[in-house]
Amino acid sequence: MRNQIVSGEWKPGIRLPTENELAMKYGVSRLTVRKAKEKLIEEGLIYSIQGSGSYLTEPEMWKLHPFTIESIDDILTLGKEMAFKIHEFQMVPNTEEIAKKLKNPQDRFIFQIIGVRYFQGQPISNVHYHLPFTLGSRIPVEVLNENPFIPQIENLAGIKVAEGVQSISSGRASQIVAKNLGIRQGSPILIMETLYFDCQGQPIEFVKAQYREEFRYNIRVTRRKMGIALATPVL
Task: Report, as an integer, the average pLDDT of 160-180.
Answer: 91
Q: Which of 7-11, 78-82, 137-141 holds the top average pLDDT?
A: 137-141
Cα separation, 59 vs 171, whole angstroms: 29
The pLDDT value recorded for residue 223 is 61
Full-model pTM = 0.64
Give the residue from 196, 188, 116 showing the smallest Cα distance to 151: 196
Cα separation, 116 vs 82, whole angstroms: 10
Domains identified in the chain and CATH numbers? 2-65 (1.10.10.10), 76-218 (3.40.1410.10)
Task: Report, as an integer, the average pLDDT of 150-177.
Answer: 89
> Phi and psi at residue 155, in whole multiples of 5°?
-70, -45
pLDDT at 73 over 60: no
User: Regarding beta strands 122-131 and 109-119, do their DSSP bridges make them parallel or antiparallel, or are they unpaired?
Assistant: antiparallel
Residue 118 · residue 103 · CB < 8 Å: no
The pLDDT value recorded for residue 55 is 92
Q: How far apart are the first and last CA of the chain?
A: 23
pLDDT at 102 over 90: yes
pLDDT at 66 over 60: no
The pLDDT value recorded for residue 144 is 84
Residue 119 · residue 81 · CB < 8 Å: yes
Cα separation, 53 vs 191, whole angstroms: 39
Task: Report, as an integer, the average pLDDT of 91-102.
Answer: 95
Per-residue confidence at 93, pLDDT binned at 50, 70, 90? very high
What tens digit of pLDDT does each residue of 109-124 get? Answer: 999 999 998 876 778 8
